[in-house]
Structure 1
Amino acid sequence: MAHYIALLRKEEESDFAVEFPDFPGCVTAGTTLDEAKDMAVEALALHIEGIREDGGGLPTPSRLETIMADPHNVGAVAFLVDAPAVKEKAVRVNFTILESVLRRVDAHAKAQHLTRSAFLAEAAIKAISDNEHV
């Protein structure tokens, strides 16, 4: 997971402003430090989602030394924000299974408060993982 540097600034009589040097135009603000941090996470996620939807790639995160060497950034407070993980697309599949096995799958899924699909996906991941460790 990539981490991007956010810069926090506070002018007298203003909110806490946050910008991302690696993403020009990705800015936000909050009335408190906590709100500014939360808004920064949301702003970066939305900005990156837009880039991905447009088929673009993400920049390599800049080094702190490079960002802070810019005279414009003197006095800003730097903090890291995690880039959101890429969401995988769910795919609909059609397969054949014995009725008795399907009943057992459904019973186990219900007992674990899962959908059939979630239960089967978790079971498959566990089986693959167990097999890779052998």
Structure 2
Amino acid sequence: MLYCAVLTPLGDDGFAVDFPDFPDAAPGDVGADTLCEAYGVAEEALAEHVRGLLARGEPLPEPTPPDRLPASPPAGAALFMVPVRLEPRRVVKVTLTMTEQEKEKLDAVAADWNMSRSQVVVAAIRDLCDRMGCP
């Protein structure tokens, strides 16, 4: 399930994230330095909020389509979709094979985004799956 989120830049203070379908779930100032980091915090905050609702037996709202939100995002804000991922996560180590040039690109992206190689690869997989509609 995908829910709308509004990402608002806070200048040097990072970003704020709000969920129109879950007004009490917003992590507010997420303190992230990058968009990718803010997205990860938003995803975790939404999953945690949904887990709490389900644990209390409360129903989840139907996701509001972006074109049916009651208000437009504030100036400078971005609207994006956040998946609800509730499955337990067991971390496993894998070995990847790639060309030297691809490794250099991976390292450059990781450095630019202040992420590890693994975080970049996982973010890319999630993004691809979200766009392709895979589970």
Q: Please, what TM-score do these two structures have when normalized by structure 1? A: 0.56
Find out whether 1:57 has 2:59 as its counterpart.
yes
Query: Equivalent pairs: percent with the same residue?
Result: 35
Secondary structure, in 3 states, of the residue corresponding to 1:7? strand
What is the CA deviation profile of residues 75-112 of structure 1, one whole-angstrom value per residue up to 9, with x for unaligned ones?
2201111112477xxxxxxxxxxxxxxxxxxxxxxxxx
Secondary structure, in 3 states, of the residue corresponding to 1:17? strand
Query: 1:74: which partner in 2?
Result: 74
Aligned AA for 1:38?
Answer: G
1:31 Cα deviation from its structure 2 partner: 2.2
Q: Please, what TM-score do these two structures have when normalized by structure 2? A: 0.56
1:37 Cα deviation from its structure 2 partner: 0.5
Give the 3 Å change call, closer, same or farther, for CA 3–13 of structure 1 in structure 2.
same
Where do 1:18-33 residues align within 5 Å? Answer: 18-28=17-27, 29=30, 30-33=32-35
Where do 1:33-52 residues align within 5 Å? Answer: 33-52=35-54
Give the 3 Å change call, closer, same or farther, for CA 86–57 of structure 1 in structure 2.
farther
Secondary structure, in 3 states, of the residue corresponding to 1:80? strand
Where do 1:86-97 residues align within 5 Å? Answer: none
Structure 1 segments of 4+ aligned residues over 6 angstroms from their partners: none
Secondary structure, in 3 states, of the residue corresponding to 2:23? coil
Aligned pair count reads 84
1: distance between equivalents of 2:10 and 2:43? 21
1: distance between equivalents of 2:79 and 2:48? 20
1: distance between equivalents of 2:64 and 2:18? 14
Give the 3 Å change call, closer, same or farther, for CA 47–57 of structure 1 in structure 2.
same
Query: 1:96: which partner in 2?
Result: none
Query: 1:84: which partner in 2?
Result: 85
Structure 2 unpaired stretches of 5+: 89-135
Query: 1:120: which partner in 2?
Result: none
1: distance between equivalents of 2:41 and 2:17? 8
